Amino acid sequence: MTAGTLKARAMRRIVVVGNGIAGLTACDTLRAEGFDGELTVVGAEQHQPYSRPALSKALLHGSGGNLTAHHLPPPTHQATELLGVSAAGLDADARLLRLDDGRHLPYDGVVIASGARAKRPAGVPNARSSQLFTLRTIEDAVALKHRLAGRPSVIVMGGGPLGMEVASGCLDAGCQVTMVSNNAPLSRQLGGHVSGIFVAAAVQRGLRLVSSGRARVVAATGRPAGTNHDDGTGVALADGTVLRADIIVSAIGDEPNVEWLNGSGLLVDGTLQVDSRGRLRPDIVAAGDVAFFPTRLGLRRVPLWTSAIDQAKVAAAGLLKGDAGPEGDIQPYFWTEGFGLSLKAVGFTPVEGAPDYCEPGETGDSMLMRWDDAGWGTAAAVNYRIPIPKLRKLANQGPGALRPGEAAVHR
């Protein structure tokens, strides 16, 4: 059964699996589109939706005991909220969602927004360690922030945006920080030019960079971390070198939460692949970090905050309207900050080589850039204050779309 073959029918019961930004946006969009039936949200965390990006930005960098940087306004969708419970299975033919507490929820429509979880290094158990940290949830962020108060030495595994933000926060806390990464930090995500800007700033502020090859966490004895209750306190590099630190922060990526869908018939090669309206079936849609969505560059998982919002809007409309709903056309928006730099980027990355257009700002570390690529562009601003709509205009139409003096207000 394809997404466009089932006749539209009234939906009176919709279940949203996931209470992150994709789930929240789906609920709000369903109500905005006129759905006034029974709406239920299933959330694995006990919390109301919060800003996950803030955990490694404002919250981790903030001083004192202020732990409110992640707060979002209270939900207004008036859904029944089942928090602290996870989806455990889905019978698509019977239209039943099974929860891990044994309950079954009947539905007319489902939004799958179950997100992703932090990937842990190979061989390390999932139990929380006093030396090994990940950063995905509020609890993760608070535990790490409290630990950093003692200024421990830190190894950060992974040179992506999260790893760089964590490393910057650890340096700000007064820690000695080593980053272990297979590639130049941020190069896989943003490309060599932008990577070079951030790496230079990071090294200047004291970050030690180590090229790792295949690295693994080891215990003080050299055994894999977690064996015989021995917490991981080091990272073994591919050449056998073992680096030691008081704590290790793993930022090696994430894994979509799809295991609960095994046996549902919805997975393709273990992934959740939706159409341009977010649909898996006429009565089942998916959005956010859990889903692979059609883009200009093919089917991709785009685990970004604004992409989750955009996908959720499309998926909710697709659930209610079917083929009459708008098709999604994702144009990624990404931002990161650390080491005294703030980056905003619109368009697909990584971008190779120097930008085709570069406008320097009023300070030596500020610039506005654009790369041309196959009929569309990517624009980025480093320490250059520009409204996001104008950054999108620069990406889509080029520098000529910005009138002289309009491009930016410099920081």
Q: What is the pLDDT of residues 278-336, one digit of tens each?
A: 999 999 999 999 999 999 889 999 999 999 999 999 999 999 999 999 999 999 999 99
Residue 197 phi, psi dihedral angles, 5° rounding: -65, -45
User: pTM above the 0.85 mark?
Assistant: yes
Q: Which one is predicted more confidently, 62 or 349? A: 349
Q: Which of 2, 14, 6, 7 is nearest to 317 (CA)?
A: 14
pLDDT of residue 215: 87
Q: What angle do CA 2, 4, 8 make, to 5 degrees?
A: 120
Element (H, E) at 285: strand 284-286
- What domains, with CATH codes, occur in the chain? 13-58+72-117+254-324 (3.50.50.60), 132-250 (3.50.50.60), 354-401 (no CATH)
* Mean local confidence (pLDDT), 236-248: 92
Q: Please report how many Cα atoms fall inside a 13 Å half-sphere around the Cα of residue 120, on the Cβ side.
A: 14
Residue 298: CB partners within 8 Å, gap ≥ 6?
none
The dihedral built from the CA positions of residue 166, 169, 174 and 179, taken in this order, carries a sign that is positive
Residue 341 has pLDDT above 90, yes or no: yes
C-alpha to C-alpha distance for 254 and 56, rounded to whole angstroms: 15
Average pLDDT, rounded, for the chain? 89
pLDDT of residue 318: 97
- Residue-wise pLDDT for 59-101, tens only, equals 777 654 455 668 888 899 999 999 999 999 999 999 999 999 9
From 191-200, 232-241, 397-406, the region with the lowest mean pLDDT? 397-406
Q: Which residues of 33-63 are buried (b: 16+ CB within 10 A; e: fewer)?
A: eebeeebbbbbbbeeebbbbbbbbbbbbbbe
pLDDT of residue 68: 67
Longest dimension (CA), the chain: 66
- Residue-wise pLDDT for 186-226, tens only, equals 999 999 999 999 999 999 999 999 987 788 888 755 454 44
C-alpha to C-alpha distance for 106 and 137, rounded to whole angstroms: 29
Q: Which 8-state DSSP code applies to residue 372? A: E
Q: Which of 19, 247, 44, 223 is nearest to 134 (CA)?
A: 247
Q: What angle do CA 220, 223, 228 make, to 5 degrees?
A: 85
* Cis peptide bond upstream of 404, omega within 30: no
pLDDT of residue 61: 75
pLDDT of residue 172: 95
pLDDT > 90 fraction of the chain, expressed in percent and rounded: 75
pLDDT class for 126, splitting at 50, 70, 90? low
Q: What residue type is 236 in one-letter code? A: A
Answer for the pair 331, 392: CB distance below 8 angstroms, yes or no: yes
